[in-house]
Amino acid sequence: MIKPVTIPIFIILLLACSANRKVQEVQEVPACLREKIKAMTADPSSGSPQSVTRYTYKQQTVYYMVSPCCDKFNVVYDSACNILGHPDGGFTGRGDGKMANFKEEAVDEKVIWKVNAQQ
């Protein structure tokens, strides 16, 4: 038989674990990138990015931001929000040519932000 005290303890532990996960998700996105996302979602003319995915590329952590529409470049940022290049997107779909090998060399993929998922 389950004691009446067991159920509230279980609920408290469940809530504590989910709260920790939310904090961890926020910390995975660098502050400068969170600000860029916030600014882009606030300005309807620029459009909200669709997602941000973290990768390891050439021994560094990078962030791949998918643009909201077809003819815009998708952008790769480093941890300090410097643009490293545009591996795809644009009119040709091939990016700016600076990171043509990104899809082949980027590893450790993890989606860390999606539109409407964490707003």
Question: Does 70 fall in a domain?
Answer: yes
The residue range of the domain holding 46 is 30-114
Is 21 part of a structural domain of the chain?
no
pTM above 0.85, yes or no: no
Does residue 81 lie in a domain region? yes
Burial class (CB in 10 A: 0-12, 13-18, 19+), 112: middle
Mean pLDDT value across residues 88-93:
89
- For the chain, the C-alpha Rg in angstroms (whole number) is 19
Is there a domain that residue 11 lies in? no
How many structural domains compose the chain?
1
Inside any domain, residue 42: yes
Which whole number is the average pLDDT over 84-92? 92
pLDDT > 50? residue 21:
no
Residue 25 placed within a domain: no
